[in-house]
Amino acid sequence: CEKDVLIDILTQRCNSQRLMIAEAYRDMYGRDLITDLKENLSHHFKEVMVGLMYPPASYDAHELWHALKGADTEENCLIDILASRSNMEIFQMKEAYLMQYNNDLQQDIDSETSGHFRDTLMNLAQGTRIEGYADPSTAAQDAMILWEACQQKTGEHKNMLQMILCNKSYQQLWMVFQEFQNISGQDIVDAINECYDGYFQELLVAIVLCVRDKPSYFAYRLYNAIHDFGFHNKTVIRILIARSEIDLMNIRQRYKERYGKSLFHDIKHFASGHYESALLAICAGDAEDY
């Protein structure tokens, strides 16, 4: 079957090889491969095959555009992408967004979201997180600010909370979270869940979880998407494609450790047909994962 061949070719190549295939396809046939995939495939299988053809930054831009400009804003897509990307990844996705849609990502976030959720997304989208620097002498001070923000919950405190979580280095935040535990006797995630709600709370928790361990965060998101939402296809597709050449092996490992069943097993249980085959090929499970 041609679809099986398509799955083999596109899932068994890395992204740069797929881009070379698209270039050769254009040279040989004078046609755009993404356009042909869109015209000849359907449903979720199409989303997977087309998604694989984008460079990582372009794929993030594509997902953000649809999350912001679709019928309903998809807040969880915005959270997954912006809470987890490095400064360089954010810079590249903003460039891709501008090129692909002739729009400014930050302006679109500003117009399509609201409140402290919007402010935090806007801060993340600046891509100005300090990288690789930690100052133990200020960790307790930052932790105290976070603790006060969880107690007071004023607009000013929410701003301080998001400024620390969006701008301090991961190494610094590790120490801050430890100091927070010492000061409050409580884990920072539990404190945020107690004090805040809605998408603002989900975004803050996502940042903390990504600081601690990104593969664990994405394993948690995949498990929720598969089990809590009756298989939320968009989330599953997006995470598998976006993380396939970054940390998908680690995500699979965390998934199995945390939930007892493999990611491969759960996808097989919920998806079907060529769509299932494509997801499993990206997931690249081992024999014991059946």
What's the start-to-end Cα distance of the chain, in Å?
23
Residues 202 and 222 in one domain: no
Residue 289 has pLDDT above 60, yes or no: no
SS3 107: helix
CATH code at 191? 1.10.220.10
Q: Which domain holds residue 31?
A: 1-53
The answer on 116 and 98 residing in a single domain is: yes
- pLDDT at residue 62, rounded to an integer: 96
- For the stretch 146-156, what's the b/e string if a residue is b when 16 or more beta carbons lie within 10 angstroms of its beta carbon? bbebbeeeeee
In a domain, 70, yes or no: yes
Residue 283 within any structural domain of the chain: no
Q: CB of 200 within 8 A of CB of 117?
A: yes
Record the pTM. 0.94
Say whether 230 counts as a known binding-site residue.
Answer: yes
- Using 50, 70 and 90 to split pLDDT, how confident is the model at 2? confident
Q: How confident is the model at residue 287 (pLDDT cuts 50, 70, 90)?
A: very low
pLDDT one-digit tens code per residue, 95-142:
999 999 999 999 999 999 999 999 999 999 999 999 988 888 899 999
* Last-in-domain residue among 128, 152, 184: 128
What digits encode the pLDDT tens for the residues 27-56?
999 999 999 999 999 999 999 999 999 999
Q: What's the number of domains the chain is made of?
A: 4
